[in-house]
Amino acid sequence: MAGQNLTIQQKLLQKLSPQQIQMIKLLELPAIQLEQRVKRELEENPVLDVDDNHREGEQREEEDKEPKEESDSDISIEEYLNDEPSYKYKTNNYSKDDKKEDIPFSIGSTFHEYLAEQLGLVNLNEHEQMLAEYIIGNIDEDGYLRRDLESMVDDLAFSMNIEVNDEEMERLLAIIQELDPPGIGARNLRECLLLQLNRKEHQTEVVENAIRLIRDYFDEFSKKHYEKIMQRLDIDEDELRDAMEEIMHLNPKPGSSHSSPASRNNQVVVPDFTLEVVEGELQVYLTRGNIPDLKVSSHYANMLKAYNENKKKRSKDQKEAITFVKQKLDSAKWFIDAVKQRHQTLLLTMNAILEYQKEFFIEGDENKLKPMILKDIAEETGLDISTISRVSNSKYIQTHFGIYPLKYFFSESMHDQSGEEVSTRRIKGILKEVIENEDKRKPVTDDKLAQILKEKGFPIARRTVAKYREQLGIQVARLRKIL
């Protein structure tokens, strides 16, 4: 057996200190999250205090500027059928390290309580009532039952020692699907739409065609194979259009119709910067909002000074108090400096972006945007690329022509036929305009889009056109077709 030897090896490693990690996190925080972070620090550190005098002397009033709200609660059936990733319909004003915390609030009955109240009016025995309530508990806020019944049967058997079969659960689910709002308890979009169509009071020919379309040709409907649908349903174009119009008026998220506005996934976009034109010059300010100026409490500073002047008369408790106060003083001073450094870094970066994209900020014309990458601003400011990335992440600026995320101003470049360097954002703008003005009965294909761009002086390949179209969140021509 080989013997074991101890050896000494010297290595040079780079590690971030806890203070550096905290500084990085502060840099990533948008204004709304920094406000919460400062409030938490004020609560946890008694040595940290609010500098009211300094705030009154320098702060301009920003509270009258209303934030912009964005909601993803009103999503159409068209978006559901597109099966796009959810991130495309949300605005994320938070960094990746932030924790989502729900604040409890008091409102009327919740969505699940609303369903349970209706269930109380159905004639069920105690066992059936308990099982039905268990199913309702698995329905999400959109109104869908995402879990399969077989899994719920297993959970009831193993965790609650309740024997039940799939058939009984199916029967109870059918009862729940008769509750309001229509479409509740569906396991997928197809079932949700069918539940709503079958609940229509007047089963007209249009409704019957819509039911047949969703029941028998849902895949063709989602892929917009209209000719195939008309042939198989033996209907003409007008009848198909009427059936589709009936479907488009249905609610793909039946649970949202009862959700409280407070429980919907609304995001408030609070701009971190404010751009103003002062005497013809562009000036950018940090949006302070409710973020107070900080200082070290004079009470604790004087306490530490008094203890230091009487070193010989210190008791054990006083020594412990001195250690505690000194730690809190150091922490408070570091936090104040870190917040100031964050503000300086943000302003330095934003001013560099402002100077680089000056023509755009004056007129608000997207065509004036220059190609700009993180490296350009890093070289301009002398900061690291990772720092520029953190500053631009989740930050917004309010201009006289709208609110923009900082990431909006970064784009790659390409050369047109004359050899001039242009931003890819300009090309995307042309693509978007062409597609918005196309004949929706005969949408423009990627090959045709590439040809149009070439005629405008931008010779790019079809696969590049497809990439830009996807980045804009626009579907292929076949899926953009309407009757």
DSSP 297-350: -HHHHHHHHHHHHTGGG--HHHHHHHHHHHHHHHHHHHHHHHHHHHHHHHHHHH
Whether residues 401 and 419 fall in one domain: no
| 386 lies in the same domain as 417 | no
Domain boundary among 369, 391, 408: 408
Q: Does 351 share its domain with 416?
A: no
Q: Where does a domain end: 207, 222, 257?
A: 257
Q: What CATH number is associated with residue 470?
A: 1.10.10.60
State how beta strands 273-278 and 396-399 pair: parallel
Same domain membership, residue 324 and residue 341: yes
- Are residues 229 and 325 located together in one domain of the fold? no
Measured from the Cβ of residue 456, the count of other Cβ atoms closer than 10 Å reads 13
Using the 8-state DSSP alphabet, how is residue 125 labeled? -
Whether pTM > 0.75 for this model: the answer is no
pLDDT in tens, the chain (483 residues): 566 777 787 777 666 666 677 778 888 888 888 888 888 888 888 888 887 765 554 544 444 444 444 444 455 565 555 544 443 434 444 444 444 444 444 445 688 888 999 998 999 999 999 999 999 999 998 899 999 999 999 988 888 888 899 999 999 999 999 999 999 999 999 999 999 999 998 889 999 999 999 999 999 888 888 889 999 999 999 999 999 999 989 999 998 766 544 444 455 678 889 998 888 788 998 887 777 888 887 777 777 676 666 665 666 666 777 777 788 888 888 888 888 999 999 999 999 999 999 888 988 887 788 888 899 999 999 999 988 998 888 889 999 888 999 988 887 767 666 666 677 777 888 888 888 888 888 888 888 888 888 888 888 888 888 888 888 888 888 778 776
Does residue 356 share a domain with residue 401? yes
Instruction: Report the chain's C-alpha Rg in angstroms.
Output: 31
Q: 283 and 389: one domain?
A: yes
Asked if the structure places residue 159 within a domain, the reply is: yes
Asked if 325 and 380 sit in the same domain, the reply is yes
**Res 307: pLDDT:** 65
Residues 230 and 323 in one domain: no
> Do both 173 and 249 map to the same domain?
yes
> What's the domain range around 209?
111-257
Residues 120 and 238 both lie in one domain = yes
Q: How far is 461 from 447, CA to CA, in rounded Å?
A: 9
Answer whether residue 285 is part of any domain.
Answer: yes
φ/ψ (deg, to 5) at 283:
-130, 135
As for how many domains the chain has, the answer is: 3
Identify the DSSP state of 289: T
Among the three residues 363, 384, 408, which one is the final residue of a domain in this structure?
Answer: 408
